[in-house]
Structure 1
Amino acid sequence: MDDGIDPEKFYDLRLLTDVTLSPDGERVAFVASESDPDDDESRTGLYVVPSDGSRDPHRLTRASTASAPAWGPDGDTLGFLAARDGDLDRRAGRRRDESDDGGDEDGRNGGDGGGGGNGSDGGEGPKPQVWTFDLALGGDARQETDFEHGVREFDFGPDGDRLGEFDFGPDGDRLVVSARDPTEEEGEYLDRRRDDGPIEVTRLQHKMDGAGWLDDVTTYLFVVDRESGETDRLDDAYGAGSAEPLMGLQPSWGSSNRIAFCRSNAEHPDDDGSVDVFTIAPDGADLRRLTDGSMRCMVPTWSPDGDRLAFAGGNHENWYEPTDAYVAPDDADAEYESLSAGLDRTLARGGGLAWLDGETVVAPIADEAWTRLAVLPLDGEPRRSYERQGRQRTICAFDLAGDTVALGLTTPDDTPQAFSLDAGELREDDTGGPIRRLTDLNADWVADAPLPDCEVVSYENADLEEVEAIVYYPDGFDADADGPAPAICSIHGGPMSYDAPEFRFTVAYWTSRGYVVVKPNYRGSTSYGRDFSEALKGSRGDLESDDVISAMDRLVADGVADPDRLFCTGFSYGGITTAHVVTRTDEFAAAAPEHGIYDFHSNFGTDDNHNWHEWEFGMPWENPETYRDISSISRVGEIDTPLLVTAGEEDWRCPPTQAEQLYVSVRKRGIDAKLVVYPNEHHDIGDPSRATHRLEVLTEWFESHDPGEA
């Protein structure tokens, strides 16, 4: 096997994750993630660049991580979240025991914001606060908030997009922020938890991945005066529901001087996945509930005149249905309808909503093996736009302001970069002018690395239905000249997700070592319309594993993949599918189910997805045969494939006991197996050293069971 890319090259990457435009569309702020090898942490840096590409990007933050940028209405103020040492001016001129300490009349000052409700966090060290740069005057950032446990922030989407829980008022003199506000009794409990006291939980949603054990502390919206630092809690704007620790309140302050936010209004919010859109006045008066509890709503986005809201909405009891874009007037019990239903496509991962003008919304959609923009008129038919993007360019970030569109775009042979184009591209009568590349991140890295070729391959599954897979080839690979190659089937999670051509270090690492990498968009993937996605509803194992096996059979038949050197892996739902695949076939030389669920019956109540499992499969004591049917552990006697099984020690999405159960079961049968558990790790792999270790241990497992390496 070729030596390929050194795994340590992962530390050299700087990957764009977010873009946001100034109100006039003239500047783009963007966030890029990077590795800190000394502290073994992933960090993010904040940059700004003119949207016309007239100069190179300027880095604003260097000493600490920064995320979730948001522009003030003046176009010179740029807010962001950061956990930094306190502002010297604030420390010198303000004391927490003085009257302007930012607390409310009861002496409360927000609560534990880190991690969305983890009662055991809130230890020593700075907490996330809102900071702002004045780009007209320059200088260091100014600290705007001083909540004891920080302003909240959330991972939003499968690619780790960050959602900051704050926004500027229309005059720029105030902020709305989200923070937890413990009562005195709750504060005492948090103190005991920080000292390793016992965990005491009374709520049904008792844990959440990335947040850990939950508690009863309520999250509220606070209005912060930027000049004085004084805060006012909006008592009727609070968080509730099983989704709240993941989704937050998502505050948005409109030009009409009203604040929108999202929360559950259900009678038993922890036992219900619905999330409604609300609006409220900044003095806490006139609360209005716009939606009716029938959907899971998110990202409320005000129209330019502030009288309407666009928002994303999906069926909270059927996640296979497309998430659509809606618009509602700012009225209690508003009438609203989908703008995007005619496309039969879901709003894309990591995408938001933006107003092109007062009558048109724009959003990225998942469209087969592609992420592209859709134009959604309030009065007219929705349509796809931006053909010049091309099928090899995937949108990973989006914003729209003024007459400018900002995009994060990635290809299989280039890391995510920032681009801009004129918004006229989104109007049918205007070509929109040239697309401008604004960044050249990782230019030397990309120039030196043997990055893959890629194509989208269509094939038939066993039911004679057409399915697509993204296939990455080693640089310069020619099956006719080189003969069939070893191939890794890498299965996406979700299953409500999809793959599109893009840069991924793992893929580039494997193709550089001579592997073909196959990523099937199996039935259940969300980018091919409701029927394709919903085909998986109520089942596990049969349909998606058939689509995986059929993809590899097609590549073997084409002479691309060596039938004796096939490997299979997947993370999360991809791990679930990998385990099902090896119960059906022995054609893989080795497999690696990662961070998956293999016994849904024993898993019920131990993860954070009890509501999902209930609406899809019913209760395990009512439908034991269903839970047995969907569990690969029920057919562990059919597994003969060597397995590498991985888990995060504190994974509450797919608990590590699931990995242990599969590992012990196959070992009892004498199957070659290995268990890898990452201590103190949640569902995802965070630290750079663990990301590279994961890649190396997977590759070593495949190589050690590769007959071509013997």
Structure 2
Amino acid sequence: MTDSAFEEAGPTPTGGPDSEVPDWELRFRAPRVSLPGWAREAPDRSLFVSNATGTFELYAWDRSTGERRQVTDRPNGTVSGRLSPDGEWVWWFDDTDGDEFGVWRRQPFGGGADETAVPGLAAGYPSGLALGRDGTVVVSRDTEEDGSTIHVRRPGEAETTEIYRHRQSADVAAISADSSLLAIEHTEHADAMHSALRVVRLDGSTVAELDDTAGGTVESGLLARGFAPLPGDSRLLVGHQRHGRWEALLWDPLTGEQRELSFGLSGDAYADWYPDGSALLVLHSFQARDEVYRYSLADGELTRLETPPGTLGGAAARPDGEVEFLWSSAAEPPRVMSTSGRTVLDPPGPKAPRSVPVEDAWVEGPGGLVHALVQRPAGEGPFPTVFDIHGGPTAHDEDGFAAGPAAWVDHGFAVVRVNYRGSTGYGREWTDALKHRVGLIELEDIAAVREWAVSSGLADPERLVLTGGSWGGYLTLLGVGAQPDSWAVGVAAVPVADYVAAYDDEVEALKALDRTLLGGTPEEQPERWAASSPITYVDAVKAPVYISAGMNDPRCPIRQIENYVSRLTDRGHPLEVYRYDAGHGSLVVEERIKQVRMEIRFARDHLPTAREAGSTD
């Protein structure tokens, strides 16, 4: 697709008081772009994701000419892509209708036919891709038959060589600048929440190991953030949790030297290299908001770079030292900006309407202070209130633009988002606290925030909606069963509904995570699995339930959802189920709008009116 086609793509309604299209739909339809990545050896060649055509697809952008070209065009969209270091090829992952099982393909940067990127390598679930400057290709994949495998193809070779295989999850995380070393994140120790690191040569022989779970009491995860960008420099930038939050260290696997870097920041700090290797770009995440710093490796000076208050959906340093970042807040739609103050990449078409800002609520919960983000509609409360629960579970809600919550607000609902125990961003202990009492821990924190929302006058206790997608959908179904008197309606998207059946059908990496969370398999820990499974409580459900499910979902497979649906149906319980031909969610804008419209309609149809509920609004 040419530059002009990109500029002409996207929805035509402009919104405003005379528009027939409501603002909540325009927020979904408004074209947006991701933070562009670029080729290490050809930084004018960039790759980004956009929904300009109504489906999220990959686009190539030549900064030297300004040309932007659509690379992929598939019915269910494409978001997984990578540029080769020389900028000559766009790699993209080809699955079937969102099932996440497939192969890597590639296309010339300037356009042309797609080709199989790694001939002879069978399909699998992608778990990592490393492309060397010399043409080396390293692919890691998961399959039910083989577990995790890593394959190397060196320059001039036609076929790949398998250098790693294990039943536990693993992936290739980084390749050194001279393509002599690979960093592998693995969970061979069977703790899927805390990865260890192994650096190997291209033949798979081990150079060094780094494992913070071995022989100690601190369960610190390790992440490989990338080798130094200079040939001959074997230092690996590593993220660690040794002191209770994400920080950084430099590890030289050839010498064994480790240098912990102290940034003196209160929250999680995620570091990446500047292209010349002289400094690190540090993204600081604290209390649902982000900021960015430059850290000089020579003298340890930490300099804050100017970004607006809100959330950064990524940041990267260009070769000239300029830093580009994707910024938004709950009230303001996303923009790709630069520390120079300019707009880096402006999508075509109308801009998304603003929403309302979030307020912070800190609520005393059974495990400590729980942070919640609140958005209020116009008027006086108490309001019908949506508890929109995030997925993950190791993720968190933030002060960033989200069209879903904004849609509920536009329809007169207050929205509360809870960063329960299990969420990231509040320290390692907070994230790890959900082990063994999975789901029940999160619901305790949600219950504490619910009590605050009612007692503060924000929420009408008779008109409370529990909703979420993925892990949030799981907590929704668990919540309406384990807390049946707390919720008037449950709206669950792509949920875990029958935990044991989900375990039987899900991808291997998620099986490993479930064993870590629950302390073993369903056969080894039957009571824990039963206590954490929504289907255990299905006969106690009182609230009408809406469920949407992707027919090709490998993460929350359809069979276990049908088991739950059958149990509710047998009871004659108020239930609506929407099944669609995609995977773990949809990349098609109109499909997403359709789903949100159905969710809001279901909630409004089944909630009592303000008069019926005895509310004053």
Interval of TM-score (by shorter of Structure 1 and Structure 2): 0.7 to 0.9
Q: How does the TM-score come out when normalised to structure 2?
A: 0.78
Aligned to 2:251: 328
1:492 deviates by 0.3
- C-alpha spacing 1:692/1:321, structure 2 compared with 1 (3 Å): farther
Structure 1 contact 239–264 (Cα < 8 Å) conserved: no
Aligned to 1:223: 154
1:490 deviates by 0.8
| 1:613 matches 2:519 | no
Q: Distance in 2 between matches of 1:536 and 1:78?
A: 45
Q: How does the TM-score come out when normalised to structure 1?
A: 0.69
Aligned to 1:551: 449
1:522 deviates by 1.3
Structure 1 contact 462–550 (Cα < 8 Å) conserved: yes
Aligned to 2:424: 526
| 1:167 matches 2:131 | yes
Aligned to 2:606: 705
Structure 1 contact 311–325 (Cα < 8 Å) conserved: yes
- C-alpha spacing 1:417/1:669, structure 2 compared with 1 (3 Å): same
Structure 1 contact 23–402 (Cα < 8 Å) conserved: no
| 1:243 matches 2:169 | yes
Task: Give the letter aligned to residue 419 of structure 2.
Answer: N
Structure 1 contact 128–152 (Cα < 8 Å) conserved: no
Q: Distance in 2 between matches of 1:216 and 1:618?
A: 20
| 1:177 matches 2:137 | yes
Point out where structure 2 has 5 or more consecutive residues left out of the alignment. Answer: 1-18, 213-220, 613-617
1:491 deviates by 0.5
Q: What is the number of equivalent residue pairs in this alignment?
A: 576
Q: Distance in 2 between matches of 1:574 and 1:114?
A: 25
Structure 1 contact 568–591 (Cα < 8 Å) conserved: yes
Structure 1 contact 339–376 (Cα < 8 Å) conserved: no
Task: Give the letter aligned to residue 357 of structure 2.
Answer: C
Structure 2 contact 146–166 (Cα < 8 Å) conserved: no
Q: Distance in 1 between matches of 2:164 and 2:367?
A: 50
| 1:366 matches 2:285 | yes
1:67 deviates by 6.1
Matches within 5 A, 1:281-296: 287-292=205-210
Q: Percent identity?
A: 19
Task: Give the letter aligned to residue 548 of structure 1.
Answer: I
Matches within 5 A, 1:90-105: none
Q: Distance in 1 between matches of 2:297 and 2:387?
A: 42
| 1:59 matches 2:73 | no
Q: Distance in 1 between matches of 2:560 and 2:114?
A: 44
1:409 deviates by 1.3
Structure 2 contact 330–400 (Cα < 8 Å) conserved: yes
1:259 deviates by 4.6
Structure 1 contact 166–251 (Cα < 8 Å) conserved: yes
Aligned to 1:307: 233
Aligned to 1:89: none
2:504 is paired with a residue whose SS is coil
- C-alpha spacing 1:217/1:478, structure 2 compared with 1 (3 Å): closer
| 1:471 matches 2:374 | yes
Match of 2:37 among 11, 20, 24: 20
Match of 1:389 among 304, 307, 310: 307
1:489 is paired with a residue whose SS is strand
Matches within 5 A, 1:553-572: 553-572=451-470
Task: Give the letter aligned to residue 372 of structure 2.
Answer: A
Task: Give the letter aligned to residue 250 of structure 2.
Answer: V
Aligned to 1:439: 345
Q: Distance in 2 between matches of 1:411 and 1:532?
A: 24
1:527 deviates by 0.3
1:455 deviates by 1.9
Q: Distance in 2 between matches of 1:13 and 1:259?
A: 43
Aligned to 1:103: none
1:462 deviates by 4.2
1:530 deviates by 1.7
Which digits, 9 at most, give the CA deviation of each residue in 1:108-164, with x for residues without a partner? xxxxx758xx99857xxxx6115335xxxxxx57989864478999878xxxxxx7x
Aligned to 1:406: 324
Structure 1 contact 312–323 (Cα < 8 Å) conserved: no
1:578 deviates by 1.4
- C-alpha spacing 1:271/1:299, structure 2 compared with 1 (3 Å): closer
Task: Give the letter aligned to residue 624 of structure 1.
Answer: P
| 1:595 matches 2:517 | no
Structure 2 contact 100–126 (Cα < 8 Å) conserved: no
- C-alpha spacing 1:640/1:146, structure 2 compared with 1 (3 Å): closer
Match of 2:90 among 71, 77, 80: 80
Match of 2:357 among 451, 454, 465: 454
- C-alpha spacing 1:270/1:491, structure 2 compared with 1 (3 Å): closer
- C-alpha spacing 1:521/1:701, structure 2 compared with 1 (3 Å): same
Which digits, 9 at most, give the CA deviation of each residue in 1:369-395, with x for residues without a partner? 123335566688796844x42432433
Q: Distance in 1 between matches of 2:530 and 2:465?
A: 26
- C-alpha spacing 1:35/1:321, structure 2 compared with 1 (3 Å): farther
Aligned to 1:110: none
Q: Distance in 2 between matches of 1:273 and 1:595?
A: 26
